[in-house]
Amino acid sequence: MTSTIAKAPAAAATDLDAIAAKVQDGMRLDRAEGLALLRCEELAFLGDLATLVRERLRPERTVSYIIDRNINPTNVCVARCSFCAFDRLPGDPEGYVLSHEQVFAKVDELLAVPGVDAALIERGGVQVLLQGGHHPKLGIEWYEALFRALRARYPKLHIHGLSPSEIVHVGKLSHLSIDAVVGRLQRAGLDSIPGGGGEILVDRVRREIAPGKAMTAEWLEVMRVAHRHGMMTTATMMYGHVERPEERIDHLLELRALQDESLRAGRGSFTAFICWPFQPGGSELDCVKSGANEFLRMNAVARLLLDNFPHQQTSFVTQGDKLGQLALFFGCDDFGGTMLEENVVSAAGTQCLITIEQIEHCIRAAGYEPVRRNQRYELLRR
């Protein structure tokens, strides 16, 4: 474990040193302490604290990653998020809905990636991440048919799909409760739910940037229900747009509270947290792009506040492999997935996909051993 913590900035030494002492003693931080850390400019201090927590949770010198592919079944969306450059309204000539055969072709490409073998698949080592737009005509039956088709053709494939906001949308289209939608999709083949659409879990922010998507209570309820069904899920944050610093902290505390609840229930829970900055290219939001220091600071603060999250994933898709690698010293212990394809962030002018070899090189160069995992963070291969 890290034996020394960089000194706190002199102007706030008393408060930050007290926070550091709490972290070293394994005590939980509160809202005011989280906000003080978010305003701290001393990155070395934050990185040391976050590494202390990261090594406490995962003392072995390993960093995990997953072999997966991102598939967007449709880009047709009526949510009208002001930050999104990927969506197309119904009737737009650039709008699409993938057929089953088109989805199959993408999965086949994933299975053909060098390093993917039958033994890995048998152990649950290959995953597809399925997320798309809020299509006004794709109800529960459409997604059930897709998941059943995938399960029949690829029995061992892990289906990580539909963000909470998509599930709320499907429920409203199909006049079903969240519990009914999650249950039916799970029986059709859905294995786990990604944390997409989290943005900032504060209704003031959500009404401004994503008024057509699930509000905070709905997003959290989907995850609560998924955990009740025994599913493992992830949680995300997209920062750097219209939110205030204290709203970032409130977002993290909402996640922490739900994780406490789910862990007490002993069924499903959050496996990991992932954050990334808003990418302004091609969107309606007029914001200055967030920088590298803010990315590292946000990851460190998240690791310190989310003391009940076992893992934290770096975001090389928006930040590139070098900054993604640096986040391993600010609380992250996972390098995410190979993805193979990314359409949402790239629509905003940013795309940083890398190969398995590049992921493993980044991990080794940082002084860690790369290990492959599945969605439940069960290790498959060193």
Question: How is the chain split into domains, by residue range?
Answer: 62-381
Helix, strand or coil for residue 219? Answer: helix
Tell me the residue type at 220. L
2.60.260.20, 3.20.20.80, 3.20.20.70, 3.30.830.10: which CATH number matches 62-381?
3.20.20.70
What is the residue-level pLDDT of the chain in tens, covering all 382 positions?
444 676 666 545 568 999 999 999 999 999 999 999 999 999 999 999 999 999 999 999 999 999 999 999 999 988 888 777 777 888 999 999 999 999 999 999 888 887 787 777 777 778 999 999 899 999 999 999 999 999 999 999 999 999 999 999 999 999 999 999 999 999 999 999 999 999 999 999 999 999 999 999 999 999 999 999 999 999 999 999 999 999 999 999 999 999 999 999 999 999 999 999 987 765 566 666 678 999 999 999 999 999 999 999 998 777 788 898 999 999 999 999 887 764 444 444 444 567 888 999 999 999 999 999 999 999 887 6
Tokens of 201: 């879990």
- The whole-angstrom separation of Cα 29 and Cα 37 is 10
The total of other beta-carbon atoms located within 10 Å of residue 297's CB is 23
Tokens of 1: 């474990």
The total of other beta-carbon atoms located within 10 Å of residue 94's CB is 8
Is residue 160 within 8 Å of residue 127, measured between CB atoms? Answer: yes
Tell me the residue type at 5. I
Tokens of 103: 């989805």
Amino acid 278: pLDDT:
87
Query: CB-based contacts of 101: which residues, under 8 Å, 6+ apart?
Result: none
Q: Which residue do the tokens 């408060």 mark?
A: 15
